[in-house]
Amino acid sequence: MSRWFEEVKNENSSIVASRIRLARNWEEYRFPGSLTPEEAREMISRLKKELRGLPDQEGKDCEYLDLERMPDLERRALRERRLINRSMAEKKTPGGLILSDDERISLMLNGDDHIRIQVMEQGLSLKECYEKADCLDNYINERIPYAFNEKYGYLTTYPTNVGTGLKASVIVHLPTLSLSKKFQDLLGDMGRFGAVVRGLHGRPGENGGDLYEVTNQKTLGLSEKEILELVENVAVQLTDQEAQVRKMALEKQRLMIEDEVYKAYGVLRYARRLAVKDAQTFLSHVRAGVSDGLLRFKEPCFLYGLMVKIQNANLQKNSSRPLGKEELEMARAACIRAYLPEIE
């Protein structure tokens, strides 16, 4: 089965993908940082037993991954696909991951919290993702009692997650807006509404791919519905502004922009070596060109999925032997040539 980011949809919006994450803890156990390795293994074993009916619940095949025994390369690849966070990737104590075969649904066990439910989907799909996560949440809570306080809500390792325990996020593509001198001020304005906007691959100017993640700041004092609406509104506002500045840029400099798009496509189509940041930058140009109608593929292509595939650990994971820097760049270029469609 193809993974969610490999599925091809005719999606030209600047909204790339959505994610819902729920942080939960088992009332019976101390928070993960206070558990001994033996207690952690016991808890994970009990969770696996209680959740063995999960595949039937979602109608998807699931597998369990033992992160304690997993090689570092595999962990880094999972992190690049946003299935685990940095602390989980670097964790040396017991931890696990229940993962659906299409990677839309994942449950981190004994990471920062006892359970983190995550659902991802293409496009603006926060409500759909939340509905799936909520069903999973109810299924789990029928089997284990959560750490919950009537005044504060769900209790979590980090105070910033106390309350609903909900983090909603949307990835947006802002190649033109992010070049504006007022972009940082704009991101600061979003903070006043209760949202955080961060570069997916670094700070503005260093963020290859021009992808940004919009996330709620608070989980306490807002309902789940309010959080979803907040993040969605900020994401839509940013992409609307991106559309406006891109339209003005095309009216003034269409030939220059069109030339940049086709040059980027040419490099991606024929290059024999590509560094990851260069590849992400060129894919960003091409994605914007497709969205603006400057360039048409003969076949639909979800370019974000290609951005995921070409990251270092996932490329290395698909090789039968360790690759040096130059070999990784060659593998990256070959991957792009294989997946990037021809243009009309």
Strand pairing class (148-149; 115-122): unpaired
pTM for the whole structure = 0.94
Half-sphere exposure of residue 103: CA atoms within 13 angstroms, side-chain side: 19
Residue with tokens 């490329």: 315
Give me the half-sphere count of Cα atoms (radius 13 Å) on the Cβ side of residue 213.
17
Residue 164 · residue 219 · CB < 8 Å: yes
In the chain, the amino acid numbered 50 is E
H-helix segments, the chain: 37-50, 54-58, 72-80, 86-90, 126-141, 183-192, 224-270, 276-291, 303-309, 312-317, 325-339
**Could you report the per-residue pLDDT of 172-208, keeping only the tens digit for each?**
999 999 998 889 888 888 888 899 999 998 776 678 8
Over residues 118-128, the pLDDT tens digits come to 999 999 999 99
CB-based contact 64:96 (threshold 8 Å): yes
- Spell out the domain ranges in the chain: 252-339
The pLDDT score that the predictor gives to residue 56 is 59
Are the CB atoms for 62 and 101 separated by under 8 Å? yes
Q: How far is CA 306 from the centre of its chain?
A: 13
**Is residue 264 scored above 80 in pLDDT?**
yes
Concatenating the DSSP letter of every residue in 137-159 gives: HHHHHTTS-B-EETTTEE--SSG
> 209-227 pLDDT, tens per residue?
999 999 999 899 999 999 9
